[in-house]
Each structure stands twice: as structure tokens, then as C-alpha cells.
Structure 1
Amino acid sequence: MTKYLLKGGTIATCEKGKPGVRVFKSDVLVAGTTITKIEENMAPEAGVEVIDCTDKWITPGFVDTHRHVFMAVMRGNHCDWLLTEYFIKSPARHLTVALYRTVQGDLTPDEVRIGTLAGCLDALHNGVTTLLDHFHAANTRAHLDAALAATLESGARLRADGRVTLGLAYDVLRGADVAPHVEFVRAARAAGARIVTAHALVDEHVTAWRDAGLIGTDVPAGARGPRGAAWKVLKESGAGIGATPVDELGMGHGNPLALEALARGVKCGLGADAVSINGGDMFTQMRTQLQWSRGATHENIRQNKLALPYKNEWNSADVFRLATLGGAECLNMGDLIGTVEVGKRADLLVFDTNTPNLGGAADPVTGVVFHAGSEDVETVFVDGEMVKKNGKLVRSWGPVAMELRKHADAIRERWSANKLEGEWKKWWDTFGSPVW
């Protein structure tokens, strides 16, 4: 059994049922997959690898509650698109409109495989140790097998107590006859799907799941626009929200709502969403959500000529929680990951505070939320396995990058920007502006 002693670090962790973030100095002993002891001044035992964490921060690994991992093979292609453009230019097969079958429906199994492998490694590099992968490139069984093989190869944790557990990504639950969809979702659960993930852009998407009798604690929705009715359904059912602030703002999904979810008592975590559009880190998601929420509050104060508050309504600890324990609870994994506690799985990050980004910072919570980046994540553990060491992935990235570039270039050659713009213009000229 491999053992590590993380010695002399400053730990920052949320605690179940308690507000804020606890910050304290201690050593952490990892044995096999588990955190087995947390106390100061532990003496190293024989056979234990000691990691000097003096001037370093130890935090839980980040939990991403909504990500399309394979889309790393299309990185940078979609950054300036509205969601409406995406539906025409690069839809998944189940979202294909009319006769449009563009990029995603045309991907090869090899392209999906390298995108998934690169996307998982990107997450690990950024300290994201657990992912909910809403996979929608299962064009054939070969595509599905390729993505699963790449996921297993990467070493990332996808959702559950094993490294990788299968769930169901299912969005079609509308129309006159939902009975076949209900039967399908129930069959997936009966077959062992531990989680059912869906997109929910408006109230009707959430209430449709409720009306079909399918909403439950195993449903974290990529929810972007719930209002009155949907909030009540989410809270009463125990379902969660995988919020993706950067994507929501940029593509026209609606305003970021993760902190509103916390205020309403709805389980919520953060996600990177489409990594063809956004970076794969949680730092940007935390900052975007926090500053947008603060800005919305400040704008309301100005417009209504209200008195200035004594302090900001939301703080760094709130979004730190969303990215760690909040995400774990959203995925029903709060008993396994999301905190630095004895008995939890050893999904841990070690931050070097002597970097240009963090030098001089004293508080790990504000430091991680406002100043840190992937380059400051020195060490990453998943299930007690070291997957990033001395600031570099243990898995060699060079060959992955070369293959990723080859396949990404091939996709861009088949589907040039001009060709996709032509598809979008054809749709626009025929049907006009879509209405939400």
C-alpha cells in the first residue's frame, strides 16, 4: 500500500453542515486511497513518502458537476458563438435540427477518444479531480467505447466511489408522448446508472422531469434559467444544479445562478461545460460567479438608490464551497470526497505559495479563488494516486498534445469556419431569429 505524508501544510476545507471554510495547519497521512490521519507533527514511518508542504496549501480536489470532456478536440472553435449558432453549427446528434448534421455528428471514434483523454488530463492539470461528463458524442457504440477507454486511461475520477461509474446523459423529455422517455430513463436506473444528468434552460425542462415522475436526488441538471416553479421542484426533490457561469454568460443561456441556488437551499456545484469554449479550470468559474453576483447586487442598489451594505453579500468561501464540497454533495458524493477529512478519499491538491501568482498571500481561500491558476497546483492526488507532481502531469502530455493537434486540424479542415458560417446563415435566412 502506497503511503504519503503531507507535512507542515496549511489546510483549507469546508465541513458538512458548517458555514465558511476551516483553515488550520496540520500534517495529512494518505494510505492507499484514503486520508487516514490528520494531526500536527506526525513522525514519518518507514515506507512513507514525505512531501514537504511548508509554505504550501492543501485543499480538496475540485469537483466539476457539468462538463463535455470530449470537446477538448474542438478547443477554441466555439468561443464566440451564441447557443443558437451552436445548435446549427455543431450539434450533437440528438440536437440536430432539421437536416443539419454538422461537426459533432461527423466526429470519428478516434477524435472522440483523444478529445476525452486530453479533456481529462486538462482537468487533472487544473486540480479538477472529479468530473461529471455529460457525454453526447455516442454516435456509435465504437464512439462510446473509445470515450470510456480514454476516461479509464486518464486516471480522473468520473463521479463515483470507483474511479469511473456510468450514468445517463438524457435531455429528451418533451412532447406529447413522454412515456417512451420515462421507460428509457427508468430502465437505465434499473440497469445501474448512478446519476442522470440533463440540461435545463427554462422552467419547463425541470417541471417536465417532475411531471414524468423522474426528478430525484440522482439528477444534477445543467440548469441555466430556473425561476419560481423550478426552484421549488429542485429543492423538494433533492435534485442539484451543475452551474457553468462562464458559458452561461457568453452563449446567452441566462445569468449565473449558483449562489442563488445556495441561498434557496438547492444543491449546487460548478462546471466548465463545453471545453471547446471555456478553459477546464474551476478558478475562472469561481471568480466569474462571485463577481457577477456581486455586480448584480451592486447594480440593484444603484438603480433603486438603496443604502450601501456593510459588506458584500457573497464572499470567497461561498464559491470555494461550490467548487469542492458543494459539487460533491450535488453528485451525492459528499461522504466520499469534497473535504480534507479522515476517512475521505484522498483527492487532494497542494498549492505552492511561492509562485508569482501566490507569493505574499496568506489566506488560502481568497488566494485560491482570486489569484491561483493551474501553474500554482504543484501536486494532485486522485484516490491517493499522485497524478501531478512538481507542477507537471505524471502522464506524459507531449504525445497526447501531438495527437490532439492532428485530429483537431482534421476536424477544422472538414468543417472550416466559412463552411459553418454558411450553414448558420442558411438557417437564419430561412427561419429568422430564434425565440427563447
Structure 2
Amino acid sequence: MTSSPTPADSIDLLIEARWIIPVRPFGVTLENHAVAVSGGNIVAVLPQAEARERFTSRKTVHLGEQLLIPGLVNLHTHAAMSLLRGLADDLPLMTWLQEHIWPAEGRFVSREFVRDGTLLAAAEMLRGGITCFNDMYFFPREAAAAVQQMGMRAALGLVVLDFPNAYASGAEDYLEKGLAARDDLRDEPLLSFCLAPHAPYTVSDQTFERILPLAEQLDIPIHLHLHETTTEIEESLKQYGVRPLERLRRLGLVGPGLIAVHAVHLQAAEIALLATHGCSVAHCPASNLKLASGITPAAELLQAGVNVGIGTDGAASNNRLDLLAEMRLAALLAKGASGNAQALGAHQALQAATLAGARALGMEDKIGTIESGKAADLCAIDLSSPELSPCYDPASHAVYAAGREHVSHVWVAGQLRVENGSLCGIGKNDLISLAKVWQNKIRD
């Protein structure tokens, strides 16, 4: 797990922690170890005493009774919708969308809405240990500006729909604007991209046929809502004669780059299809429950070998961008739904919230584990508080007991973004003021 830093023995940062869960190797918890960081990357993971002898560090952080894990990867969200949090609750998906969310977006979505909403979401996510999120929303340049201001990592979805809004006039316009943004931002080190056709019920066969060669040419994932509700499936059967996943298979979109968001209503053959073709699932348990969409068969998907990551969905349907809470809920639902108490155990849940998300985004070589050569995207969880004492198993505590309020430090590419629970570089009052401005606009 070690390699020699450059220059020899001189590093930028040494982080010492009571426990480290590197995620790979799976199931391992290291005690009294340290992570050596140089140039934004991890150069070694080793015992603290050895680290002190081997390295001269410009800065050393002693984390005490804390657990260090990889930065969490939020595999699906609509970041700018943080400005619509709580606007319409306790409604089924299509009623929520058609009668509340889409009309609100029609009135208020703009470049400023996306920039400010993404800034607010990024702040929330960083404070909860999320260092990378996979977004699906409009105006990607503005989302990128907010992400860069916060210094976190994002995979920006190039959204495609067949109907117009304030961002684009139709499918071709969505694609042209998204691809132009991607071309301009492609060299930004903390940004990556996905093609993001919204859902089978908002995208035509003709548009899907445009998306497939683009994804192959650019070597980027395809990120879309799929099999979220029974209504979606029923409408697909009426219109196309097949279920949505089969429609995508016939169009050639089912493959290793597919990130199927929600994937709640799956038959055994469909689970096997996703596994055979190396697809990923973005499991969003809280949003699925809140909208009464159902429960993703996570245990069955994992048993079949499907790569299952975890997402929050947007704040308008969750209403939290809290991946630690999603991890716990995903683990509990997998056990309850399958009748197997061993389903989605603590280490597996932690892997789903880190490495599995990175793998789905094609970023497994950069993030998702604490290993030499990876980016130093790290999250520290303080396990010293009374409600987390005693601690017999830090992995268990991370999944079943700790909350985002226990996140003390967060680094992205070796840069400190949260220190002692507070954001670095932007004030809490500034964010609250920003949110209030939009609250007044939307409420009025």
C-alpha cells in the first residue's frame, strides 16, 4: 500500500488517525496508521511510528479518536434543486413533478438559480463528507463554477430532454450546449462528465440513438432514471410494447457505462441483464421511500454482481444531501427487504458509498479508496462523542451510528475543505443569506 513520494521523504501533509478504513482491501480496518499526501495524492498508508521516521511533512494533522475513510461519492443528485427543498412534500412522483416541480423550474430555473443552488448543495455535501457528486441538471457551466468555488469534485451530467425549458429548446440544443460546456471544461482536474438523458419517459428513441455513439466516442457514462415507478413501466408497455430496460437494450444502451438511477422495479431477468452487461445502479433509498416509489432490490443486485452505488437524489425529494444517512438506510432496507440480516453489511455499505460510485463514474483509478496513487479525497469522522462511545467496530459506527454532524475534516485532492466541522473559504451566514434571497423569490 506504499510507494516512494517525490521528492524523497518530503511530503505536504501527514494525517494520523486512530482508525483508517481504506475500503480496498475489503473489510480491513487499520489502527494507529497515517496517510502521507504529496501533490494532492496519497503516497503511503503506514503505521504512525513508521510514517514519522520516514517522512518530513510540511503539515501534520493528529485526528485522535477519529476514523478516516475515503471521501464519499454521491452517485446521483440534482444539486441546484437544494433551492426547492421542502417546496412540495408527501406526493407521488408524477404529481410531485408535473404539478409542482416542473412548474417551479419553469418559472425560476436560470443561470443564477443553478449557480446558487449548486453552491448551497456543495456546501451541504462537503460538510457531510461527500467529496464527489454525480449531478443531473441544467446550465452545467454554472454548476461547474459553484463546484470550483467550493473546491470539490463533480461529474456533471449533460442533461437531455425532448421538451424545452429555460436552458435549451430541444434535444439537439441540449446536446450542443452540454458538449460545448464539456469541451471548455474538460481539462479542469476536479470535473468529469456523463451524458444524462433524463428518463425513458422524457427521451425518444431518436434521441437515445444520438446519445449512444456520443457516449462511446467520448468514453463517458450514460446516467438516467430507470424503472423508478410502476407507472413508468406501465406507460412504456403501452407505448413501446416492452419494459424500459428492454427498450434500452434494443437501442444498445445497456452496457458497462450505464448508470441506472433508482432501479426499483426489477424482475430477476432484468437483474441478470444488468449484471451480465456490467451496468451500475445508483440506489437512492430515502427518495424512493419519500415518493412511495418502492425499495430497490439491493441485496439481489449485489448478489448478482451488479455494481451498486448510493445517491441522495435531489434535496427537493429527499430532503437531505446526506450520504451517511443514505448508507445506513440502504443497509437496513436491504436486510428488511431480503430477510437476510447479513445483506449489505457495514463494510459493503461503505464500499457502495465510495468505491462503487467511483467505479460507476469511471473514476476507480482516482478516488474511492485510501491507497497509494489515489487522490487524497478523505473524510474524518469523530467517534469520541458520548453517543458514539464505546466503539467496538469503527465500520459499524460509520454506517449505523455516526451522522454527518460527526464529520470533522474533509480533504479534496489533499486540500482541506472542512476543518473541525466548518467549511473552509465560505461563511455559513453567506450561504444562509443566499438561500433566503431565493426563498423570498420562490415563495412570492
Q: TM exceeds 0.5? A: yes
Provide TM-score, normalisation by structure 2: 0.80
Matched, 1:37 2:44: yes
Residue 2 of structure 1: CA displacement?
7.3
Closer, same or farther in 2 for the Cα pair 1:62/1:175, shift >3 Å? closer
Is the CA contact (8 Å cut-off) linking 2:215 and 2:221 kept in structure 1? no
For residues 202 and 13 of structure 2, the distance between their equivalents in structure 1, rounded to whole angstroms, comes to 54
Correspondence for 1:201: 227
For residues 245 and 209 of structure 2, the distance between their equivalents in structure 1, rounded to whole angstroms, comes to 14
Correspondence for 1:392: 422
Residue 173 of structure 1: CA displacement?
4.5
Residue 314 of structure 1: CA displacement?
4.2
Runs of 4+ in structure 1 over 6 Å off: 174-177
Closer, same or farther in 2 for the Cα pair 1:393/1:296, shift >3 Å? same
Correspondence for 1:4: 13
Closer, same or farther in 2 for the Cα pair 1:217/1:188, shift >3 Å? closer
For residues 326 and 15 of structure 1, the distance between their equivalents in structure 2, rounded to whole angstroms, comes to 11
Q: For structure 1, which segment, 355-364 or 329-338, has the greater mean C-alpha deviation from structure 2 after superposition?
A: 355-364
Matched, 1:283 2:313: no
Matched, 1:60 2:70: yes
Correspondence for 1:419: none
Match of 2:192 among 165, 168, 177: 165
Q: CA-atom RMSD, angstroms?
A: 2.4
SS in 1 for 2:193: coil
- One-letter amino acid of the structure 2 residue matched with residue 210 of structure 1: R
Closer, same or farther in 2 for the Cα pair 1:58/1:175, shift >3 Å? closer
Residue 8 of structure 1: CA displacement?
4.3
Is the CA contact (8 Å cut-off) linking 1:77 and 1:277 kept in structure 2? no
Is the CA contact (8 Å cut-off) linking 1:258 and 1:269 kept in structure 2? no
1:267-282 equivalences in 2 (<5 Å): 267-278=307-318, 279-282=320-323
Matched, 1:231 2:231: no
Matched, 1:335 2:365: yes
Unaligned runs of 5+ in 2: 1-9, 157-187, 234-242
SS in 1 for 2:20: strand
SS in 1 for 2:374: coil
- One-letter amino acid of the structure 2 residue matched with residue 402 of structure 1: S
Residue 186 of structure 1: CA displacement?
2.2
For residues 190 and 424 of structure 2, the distance between their equivalents in structure 1, rounded to whole angstroms, comes to 17
Deviations 1:245-303 (A, max 9, x none): 111112122213333221111011000002123211112111212222222344xxxxx
SS in 2 for 1:24: strand
Residue 28 of structure 1: CA displacement?
0.9
Matched, 1:211 2:213: no
Residue 23 of structure 1: CA displacement?
3.8
Is the CA contact (8 Å cut-off) linking 1:256 and 1:289 kept in structure 2? no
Residue 201 of structure 1: CA displacement?
1.6
Correspondence for 2:389: 359
Closer, same or farther in 2 for the Cα pair 1:248/1:132, shift >3 Å? same
Matched, 1:150 2:140: no
Matched, 1:113 2:115: yes
Is the CA contact (8 Å cut-off) linking 1:109 and 1:146 kept in structure 2? yes
Residue 346 of structure 1: CA displacement?
0.6
Residue 216 of structure 1: CA displacement?
2.1
Is the CA contact (8 Å cut-off) linking 1:259 and 1:289 kept in structure 2? no
SS in 1 for 2:353: helix
Closer, same or farther in 2 for the Cα pair 1:52/1:180, shift >3 Å? closer
Is the CA contact (8 Å cut-off) linking 1:168 and 1:193 kept in structure 2? no
For residues 22 and 203 of structure 2, the distance between their equivalents in structure 1, rounded to whole angstroms, comes to 47
Provide TM-score, normalisation by structure 1: 0.82
Unaligned runs of 5+ in 1: 93-101, 299-308, 414-436
Correspondence for 1:408: 439
Correspondence for 2:58: 48
Q: For structure 1, which segment, 194-203 or 55-64, has the greater mean C-alpha deviation from structure 2 after superposition?
A: 194-203
- One-letter amino acid of the structure 1 residue matched with residue 86 of structure 2: G
Correspondence for 2:353: 323
Residue 355 of structure 1: CA displacement?
2.2
Correspondence for 2:403: 373
Is the CA contact (8 Å cut-off) linking 2:285 and 2:330 kept in structure 1? yes
Residue 227 of structure 1: CA displacement?
1.6
For residues 31 and 273 of structure 1, the distance between their equivalents in structure 2, rounded to whole angstroms, comes to 34
Closer, same or farther in 2 for the Cα pair 1:266/1:164, shift >3 Å? same
- One-letter amino acid of the structure 1 residue matched with residue 335 of structure 2: R
Closer, same or farther in 2 for the Cα pair 1:188/1:313, shift >3 Å? closer
Closer, same or farther in 2 for the Cα pair 1:47/1:23, shift >3 Å? closer
Is the CA contact (8 Å cut-off) linking 2:418 and 2:424 kept in structure 1? yes
Correspondence for 1:178: 205
